[in-house]
Amino acid sequence: MGPWIRMVPLIAFSGLHPTTGSVHDPLLVLDGLEDSGIRLKCLSERLFSEVKVLWMDGKGRNITGNALSTDTSGNAGSSIVLKPGSGNAVSCRIVDNLGKTSTESSVVITESFFPTISLWLPAFVMILLFGIFLVLAAVYKLRINQKATDQEKNAQKQIQEDIEEFKMELEEVQEKFQKENQEMTTKIEQIQAQLDFRRAQSNAVPLTLDELCKHPELSLRDRSRVVSCSAAEQLHPKPAVLAKESFSQGKHYWEVEVRDGSGWELGVLAEEIRDSLRKDGMALPREREQVLSLGYSRGEFTIPGGWNSGPCPVLGVFLDQESHNLSFFDVEGKSLLASLPLRFSGNLFPFFSPGSDGKGLGIRSVGGS
C-alpha cells in the first residue's frame, strides 16, 4: 500500500479517445515493486473473448505483457513490469475484435519511484563481507590457538603424569633396593656374628668353681653350678664365687647356663680384687674399677651405659686379652650381645654371682647341652 499511496499523485493519464461512447476506459493500477521495477496492471470491463490488451511505451512501440487470470466474470486484464530506463510513459490499449474500436489509458512514472541501489551499497557489502571474513578468521584462529593450547595442556599433563609415575616407580625401586640392601646387610651381619661366635667358641677352656673363693650364702654343685642359699629377693652386696682358673694373656671362651634366672651377674675381675674379696667375705665391691661384667635384672640384660636385651638361656663369655675386649654371646642365637673394652690387665679371674631366686648359674661344657 505504501508505494501505491506515493505514486498516485504522480500518475498522469493521457487524453482518452474512444471510438464508441459506450465503452469504459481501461484502468491502470500500480501493483508494487518487483524485480528492480514497478508492476502495472491494466484492467477492463470487456471480456477476453471480445478484446485484445496491448501495452505500448512512450514512443508507441508494443511491449509484451502477461495476461491476468480471469475471475468468474471473464473480464480482460494484463500486467507488465516497467524497468528503470525503459521510459517513464506507458499506455494500455483495449482493442475490440469485432468493431475494431479501441480505448487507451496512459501513465507517466518518475524515476524516483524506481528502486535504486545506493553507491555505498557495494562498499558496504564489501566491508560487511570483509568483516565477516575477519570474524571467521578470528574465530578460526581462536579455535586453532585453543586447540594448540589444549594440546599443550594435555601434553604438559601427560608429561606431569609420566613424571609422577616415574617418581613412584623410582621410589618403589629405591624402597625395594633399600629393603634388599637392608636384608643383605642383616644377613651379612648375621653371618659375621656367627663367624665371630665360631671363632670365639674355638678358644673354649674348661672352668672349675673354687670352693675356697665362695661366699658363705652360696652352694656349689659338682664344682660347675652355683646356687644362692638365701631366700631374700636381693642380697647387697652381691655374693660371688670365682673360678680356679685365671688368665693373663691370650683368648679364652666359656659358656654359662643362666636359664630363666634373674638378678645374676657374671664376668671377670682382677687378681687384686680377688685377694680383697677373700678377705672381705666374697661379696662384690660397689666400686667396679677392676671388675667387668654383664648382669640380668627385672627381665633385662644390663651393662654399664644402659644397654639391654631380651633373655637367653645360655651365655658365651669371650675374654680377648690380645684385643682387650670382653664379649658376651647368645649361644642359641649365635649372636653377639655386647662387647666391652677391657681397661685393666694382669691375671684375671672369671666370677659368678647367682640371683636369689634359687635357680643359680652353671658352667656348661662348650658344645654340650
One pLDDT digit (tens) per residue for the chain, 369 residues: 434 333 333 443 444 444 444 457 788 888 888 877 888 888 887 777 778 888 888 777 888 766 665 555 667 788 888 887 667 788 888 888 776 778 888 888 877 776 666 667 788 888 999 999 999 999 999 999 898 888 989 999 999 999 999 999 999 999 999 999 999 998 898 888 889 999 999 999 999 999 999 999 899 988 888 887 765 445 567 899 999 999 999 999 999 998 877 788 999 999 999 999 999 889 988 887 899 999 888 778 876 555 556 668 899 999 999 999 999 999 998 888 889 999 999 999 999 999 877 788 999 998 765
Q: What is the predicted pLDDT for the residue at 16?
A: 40
H-helix segments, 237-349: 271-280
C-alpha dihedral, 177 to 180 to 185 to 190, nearest 10°: 180
CA dist 360 and 262 (Å) reads 9
Q: Cα(320)–Cα(362) distance, rounded to whole angstroms?
A: 22
* Residue spans in the chain of domains classed CATH 2.60.40.10: 2-113
Please provide the CATH number assigned to the domain covering 2-113.
2.60.40.10
Is domain 209-364 given the CATH code 2.60.40.10 in the classification? no
> Which of 227-236's residues contact partners 24+ apart within 8 Å by CB, and which partners?
227/354, 227/358, 227/359, 227/360, 228/354, 228/355, 228/356, 228/357, 228/358, 228/360, 230/356, 231/356, 231/358, 232/356, 233/263, 233/356, 234/263, 234/356, 235/356
pLDDT value of position 105 = 86
Residue 310: predicted pLDDT: 66
Half-sphere exposure of 165 (CA within 13 A, CB side): 6
| pLDDT computed for residue 30 by the predictor | 82
Q: Residues spanned by CATH 2.60.120.920 within the chain?
A: 209-364
pLDDT at 268 (0 to 100): 97
What local confidence, expressed as pLDDT, does residue 123 receive?
83
pLDDT, residue 68, reads 60
CA dihedral of residues 269, 273, 278, 281 (deg, nearest 10): -90
Cα–Cα distance measured from residue 67 to residue 325, given in angstroms and rounded to the nearest whole number: 138
CA neighbours closer than 13 Å in the CB half-sphere of residue 324: 6
Q: What are phi and psi of 51, to 5 degrees?
A: -135, 165
DSSP letter assigned to residue 112: G
For residue 21, the model assigns a pLDDT of: 42
